[in-house]
Amino acid sequence: MYGLRAIYRKELEDHFSSTRFTILLTVILMVSLILAWMTGTTLKKELEGFTKPTLVFLMLFTSTGTLFSLAQFVAFFGPLIGLVLGFDAINRERAQRTLAKLVAQPIYRDSIINGKFLAGLSTIAVLLIAIVLLISGLGLWVVGVVPGPEEVGRLALYLVVSIVYVGFWLGLAILASVIFRSMATSALAVLALWIFLAFFVPLGANLAANSLAPIPPDGTTDIETALRHAQIQRAISYLSPIALYSDATAVLLDPLRKTTRSLVLMGPLERLSIARFERPLPLVQSALVAAPHLVTLVAMSCVCFGLAYASFMRQEVRTT
């Protein structure tokens, strides 16, 4: 336990004092300020003269404004935080010939990789909490809406899901740093994988759905084909953690959203009670809807870090 604590403190100090952390924090805060200001001013103009709806504070994180929302920003560019913090976690120690010195210390070998992962995860948590607090404070000033207890709870769950999501990319980056000896190679590998999962998997999902269950250009099709098209697209897109995270956070931050599916078939009896679909979901129900996605993200994070852990424990560390 002492060795893990020492490695954790060392890595945490390295992260907070590094130039990459300063640059990363500056860029993230600048983008967050711009998004919060644009979204806040847009909401303020739209709500002038109207009674402010319930849970309007969450719109600061979901409204797109003229660019994109904060949730979309974290979904697509949040992985870069984990990749930047972890792509050279192990091979940098090898290049500087300090890994052998760490192993020679009276600590358990797994304390090295465990401490690095926990320090990176703590840094990610600090960055994401700073983003949420910054946008919340600016939203309070611009829009003038105080968040209620349920909104605070939804933001807390959103932070948990976001930390797990970026933690998956951190584990993936640490795995690359264990496998590849070169820091440049590990950086290119994780960057290529991020591009593939972020852009090519959704494109492949659309192509597969259009090929297996094509919908005519005029949009006239039967219900079974439309459902099959949506199911194929959804199943393939879930190969990417970005889709899992986006659907989970959409349910948590939008109480009016009842499901993660893009297409829902309603029966005749359900149409008679359509009013119940217009009411916002309680926090517990939204958490239950997003729970499978969160469990999947946790499992993927554990698999990535488990592979990195096993590979590191099996590798030979030479003193020369």
Angle between helices 283-314 and 241-253 (to 10 degrees): 150
Query: What secondary structure does DSSP assign to 11-29, as a single string?
Result: HHHHHHHSHHHHHHHHHHH
Please report which confidence band the pLDDT of residue 64 belongs to, taking 50, 70 and 90 as the band edges: low
pLDDT, one tens digit per residue, over 178-197 is 999 889 999 999 999 999 99
pLDDT on residue 81: 92
Residue 263 has pLDDT above 90, yes or no: no
> How much is the average pLDDT of 259-274?
54
Q: Is the pTM of this model over 0.85?
A: yes
**What distance in Å separates the CA atoms of residue 72 and residue 268, rounded to the nearest whole number?**
35
Residue 277 has pLDDT above 60, yes or no: no
CB crowding 6-26: b at 16 or more within 10 Å, else e: ebbeebbeebeeeeebeebbe
pLDDT, one tens digit per residue, over 142-168 is 777 778 888 889 999 999 999 999 999
Total count of residues recorded for the chain = 320
Choice between 265 and 23, residue whose per-residue pLDDT is larger: 23
Number of Cβ within a 10 Å radius of residue 234: 17
Residue 109 has pLDDT above 80, yes or no: yes
Choice between 225 and 157, residue whose per-residue pLDDT is larger: 157
